[in-house]
Amino acid sequence: MKTRTRPLTMRESSESKSVESDDLIAAYSRAQPLAFRSICDVLRELITTALPKATSKVWHGSPVWFIDENPVVGYDATAKTVNLLFWNGRAFDEPGLRPVGKYQAAQALFADAAEIDPKVIRRWLKKAKSDVFDSRAFFKKLRESK
């Protein structure tokens, strides 16, 4: 076994985290039933292509992509569907996204990969990239108002 004799450079550290994150997201997909695995794989490809500068990780047990430390989009496999969640999805004014929770999130549900329309998902991702929900500022303001 080869041991590292020097610390990682910033670039190597960043690349290492990216590879580790990709591995964890791939492992999340592999852990799903076959039908849901294909949904996860399609969504992952669409998201990583549309948001190449976003960072990704498995956050609270699900794959999530971040822009400037703010969660933008993620998905979660449940017993019956894979839920594609946009943290600022209500602002998109898209009929295919249903509000979820008490803040600005909205989601789409998929039971089969054939239900995914890549053109629609890319449109949503374009909106997600240009209209990022600043969660840190939002929750700070919310705490201050109480």
What share of the chain has pLDDT > 70, as a percent?
Answer: 78
Residue 82 lies in a domain: yes
Instruction: Say whether pLDDT at 85 is over 80.
Output: yes
Mean pLDDT, rounded, for 79-102 = 94
**What is the CATH classification number for the domain harbouring 59?**
3.90.1150
Domain that holds residue 140: 34-145
Instruction: Say whether pLDDT at 92 is over 90.
Output: yes
Residue 7 lies in a domain: no
Range in 6-15, 30-39, 56-65, 120-129 with the lowest mean pLDDT: 6-15
Residue 18 lies in a domain: no
Where residue 7 falls among pLDDT bands split at 50, 70, 90?
very low
Q: What is the pLDDT of residue 6?
A: 41
Residue 45 lies in a domain: yes
3-state secondary structure of 44: helix
**Token pair recorded at residue 64:** 């999530």
Mean pLDDT, rounded, for 67-94 = 95
Residue 81 lies in a domain: yes
3-state secondary structure of 70: strand
User: What's the rounded Cα separation, in Å, for the pair 145 and 128?
Assistant: 27
3-state secondary structure of 92: helix
Residue 117 lies in a domain: yes
Range in 3-17, 36-50, 93-107 with the lowest mean pLDDT: 3-17
Residue 17 lies in a domain: no
Total number of domains in the chain = 1
Q: What is the pLDDT of residue 143?
A: 67
Ordered alpha helix ranges (H), 31-134: 34-50, 118-130
Bridge partner list, 129:
none
Residue 10 lies in a domain: no
For the stretch 22-75, pLDDT in tens is 789 999 999 999 999 999 999 999 999 999 999 999 999 999 999 988 999 999
Length of the chain: 146
> Considering the entire predicted model, what is its pTM?
0.79
Closest CA to 40 of 78, 69, 6, 88: 78
